[in-house]
Chains A and B, each alone.
Chain A
């Protein structure tokens, strides 16, 4: 496979790299991710038990609680946040967690919005890198 390059909209701009954790189902960070460990704790979520820490978290959008921004922020503070979040649909609540992390800790995982067809093209487990410009590269 040759390298793939996708262009998205950087909701929270930044550069990061990691292995893709691809969630087909949306996930609420609050009640869904333990900020201390970065583990998915929503027992109804098919990927419950896996860790989002350091991963390029690919998910369609967030759901549920409006406290998800807090959980993402706390993850940034504790170093358990995803390396980057890649969304298919605009999700203000996660971007907000990132924007506040910038303000408070001068760092945040980039939050990227991709066109649905591009979002579909991101397979589980590949190495992906997000650039400040909103470009996303998959290693070939």
Chain B
């Protein structure tokens, strides 16, 4: 239980010590102090070099985050490795989207500016792995944002521990991170097998179901590394949705999907050639449970039940993590066929890269003509974007939105497939696709 190392016993290089003593400026000293404290917390023997960082601390949660960023800026902070930024509290391109107070807007903006001043790349997205050059297999990085962490580790095979706000920027400034956890080969092997092979093949390859699988995996594996056995044909958008859901319901920072993710060519390899601690068979009823726990709306029939249910839908929110161009390509024909009803608020969150492509193809105009709002740089569960008063029902195909929307923005949620979301928005009431279940 007790880690053997304390801040006093962490082995530091000469450069680390010089930073601690302020030779690299006051901000680098603060950053190194926090890193050494955290190295002690994690029981690290030493720090290691990182080659990139992704920062979550640029999102406004309250004045304390601004206080911290201002402290670093005043201390002359500059990032020393390529560093990207997660979502902020504002859509900088569409300021009219912000429905909060002027005071909150000013603070959210100031926080974003602070991180820009430190030299970070202003990509403002929770899916940096779909926009900017990605870390290579085996590369050491320091990423924050739970869905980005799980994608970097699992799908790219890069190595980051599960970092949070503040240590991310400390690592970026110093170029160092505690040598612990998922940075180290020996801690990356799978511990719990989720055996999906008894599910019908059609379900195992259905993208809409991946958030539900992720959600139940996160709930049951806790903070142990899960191995998924029997998943078929998941593309990167599917793995992104699965990982985001698992990192919402559990503390999942890495999963292995046998035959799909790079550290899991075989079950044996995924388990590091050791015995699993637990073997969990996932059947159709478990999947239905996973789907049920993604929805909170009272009286909500389980996802996939045939026909319409008399439940009014007030908001459809998509894009957590941020929608990719491929996801927009899937959405486009659905919306053209069944545009949202006038009374339903329909918002898609994405990044500037996807937005640029939408603009080039003319799809942005088409979506807007149908009443679909496209929000960049931020998202609806972290910033006051929704215009519908809290208390209604929000429908989404995102496990992460489904998890956080009730607490963060006060909506009941219904989880459904992309087509179900679009058709429900079209009719203004919940529509279930009778063909989802084989």
A95 and B30 contacting across the interface, CB-CB below 8 Å: no
Q: Encode A48-70 as 1/0 by CB contact (under 8 A) with B.
A: 00000000000001111111111
Chain B stretch 263-310: residues in CB contact (< 8 A) with chain A: 293, 296
Query: What is the chain A residue whose CB lies nearest that of B250?
Result: A63
Q: Which of B59-67, B204-212, B235-243, B414-422 contacts A (4 or more CB under 8 A)?
A: B59-67
In the complex, chain A residues whose CB is within 8 Å of the CB of B138: none
Q: Encode B50-93 as 1/0 by CB contact (under 8 A) with A.
A: 00000011010111110110010000000000000000000000
Q: Does B346 count as interface, using CB distance less than 8 angstroms? A: no
A73 and B65 contacting across the interface, CB-CB below 8 Å: yes
Q: Does A32 count as interface, using CB distance less than 8 angstroms? A: yes
B62 and A66 contacting across the interface, CB-CB below 8 Å: no
B56 and A66 contacting across the interface, CB-CB below 8 Å: yes
Most chain-A CB neighbours within 10 Å: which of B3, B166, B218, B247? B166
Most chain-A CB neighbours within 10 Å: which of B145, B164, B167? B164
Q: Encode B229-260 as 1/0 by CB contact (under 8 A) with A.
A: 00000000000000000011111000000000
Q: In the complex, what's the smallest C-beta–C-beta distance from B103 to chain A, in angstroms?
A: 14
In the complex, chain B residues whose CB is within 8 Å of the CB of A9: 1-3
Chain A stretch 72-125: residues in CB contact (< 8 A) with chain B: 73-74, 76-78, 89-93, 95-97, 99-101, 103-105, 113-116
In the complex, chain A residues whose CB is within 8 Å of the CB of B3: 9, 90
Q: In the complex, what's the smallest C-beta–C-beta distance from A118 to chain B, in angstroms?
A: 9
With A66-B146, A100-B166, A104-B71 as contacts: A92 and B250 at CB distance below 8 Å: no
A35 and B38 contacting across the interface, CB-CB below 8 Å: no
Q: CA A90 – CA B38 in complex, angstroms? A: 11
A66 and B145 contacting across the interface, CB-CB below 8 Å: yes
Q: Does B223 count as interface, using CB distance less than 8 angstroms? A: yes
B2 and A92 contacting across the interface, CB-CB below 8 Å: no
In the complex, chain B residues whose CB is within 8 Å of the CB of A95: 38, 41
Q: In the complex, what's the smallest C-beta–C-beta distance from A92 to chain B, in angstroms?
A: 6
With A73-B68, A113-B1 as contacts: A67 and B403 at CB distance below 8 Å: no
Most chain-B CB neighbours within 10 Å: which of A28, A43, A100? A100
With A35-B61, A73-B68 as contacts: A100 and B163 at CB distance below 8 Å: no
In the complex, chain B residues whose CB is within 8 Å of the CB of A35: 61-62
A92 and B164 contacting across the interface, CB-CB below 8 Å: yes
B41 and A89 contacting across the interface, CB-CB below 8 Å: no
Q: In the complex, what's the smallest C-beta–C-beta distance from A20 to chain B, in angstroms?
A: 20
A73 and B251 contacting across the interface, CB-CB below 8 Å: no
In the complex, chain B residues whose CB is within 8 Å of the CB of A90: 3, 41-43
In the complex, chain A residues whose CB is within 8 Å of the CB of B433: none
In the complex, chain B residues whose CB is within 8 Å of the CB of A113: 1-2
Q: Does B362 count as interface, using CB distance less than 8 angstroms? A: no
A103 and B33 contacting across the interface, CB-CB below 8 Å: yes
B406 and A43 contacting across the interface, CB-CB below 8 Å: yes
Q: Does A14 count as interface, using CB distance less than 8 angstroms? A: no
Q: CA A132 – CA B146 in complex, angstroms? A: 31
Q: Count residues of chain A with CB under 8 A from any CB of chain B.
A: 48
B146 and A115 contacting across the interface, CB-CB below 8 Å: no
Name the one of A66, A100, A105, A116 contacting B34, with C-beta atoms under 8 angstroms.
Answer: A100
Query: What is the chain A residue whose CB lies nearest that of B223?
Result: A61
In the complex, chain A residues whose CB is within 8 Å of the CB of B381: 31
With A90-B42, A104-B71 as contacts: A31 and B407 at CB distance below 8 Å: yes
In the complex, chain A residues whose CB is within 8 Å of the CB of B62: 35, 70, 73-74, 77-78
Q: CA A70 – CA B149 in complex, angstroms? A: 17
B250 and A96 contacting across the interface, CB-CB below 8 Å: no
A92 and B56 contacting across the interface, CB-CB below 8 Å: no
Q: Does A11 count as interface, using CB distance less than 8 angstroms? A: yes
Q: Does A6 count as interface, using CB distance less than 8 angstroms? A: no
Q: In the complex, what's the smallest C-beta–C-beta distance from A78 to chain B, in angstroms?
A: 7
B403 and A70 contacting across the interface, CB-CB below 8 Å: no
Q: Which 10 A-B pairs have the closest CB atoms?
A: A74-B62, A69-B164, A93-B164, A66-B164, A70-B61, A41-B407, A77-B64, A31-B404, A70-B165, A9-B2
14 interchain pairs (CB within 8 A)? A8-B2, A30-B61, A35-B61, A65-B248, A67-B61, A69-B167, A77-B64, A91-B251, A92-B41, A92-B162, A92-B164, A93-B162, A101-B64, A104-B67
- Chain A residues near B (Cβ < 8 Å): 8-9, 11-12, 26, 28, 30-32, 35, 41-44, 61-71, 73-74, 76-78, 89-93, 95-97, 99-101, 103-105, 113-116
- Chain B residues near A (Cβ < 8 Å): 1-3, 30, 33-34, 37-38, 41-43, 56-57, 59, 61-65, 67-68, 71, 144-146, 149, 161-167, 218, 222-223, 247-251, 293, 296, 381, 403-404, 406-408
**Contacts beyond the supplied A66-B56, A96-B164, A104-B67: 16 A-B pairs with Cβ under 8 Å:** A9-B2, A9-B3, A30-B61, A35-B62, A42-B406, A42-B407, A43-B406, A44-B296, A63-B222, A66-B162, A70-B59, A73-B166, A74-B63, A76-B64, A96-B38, A115-B2
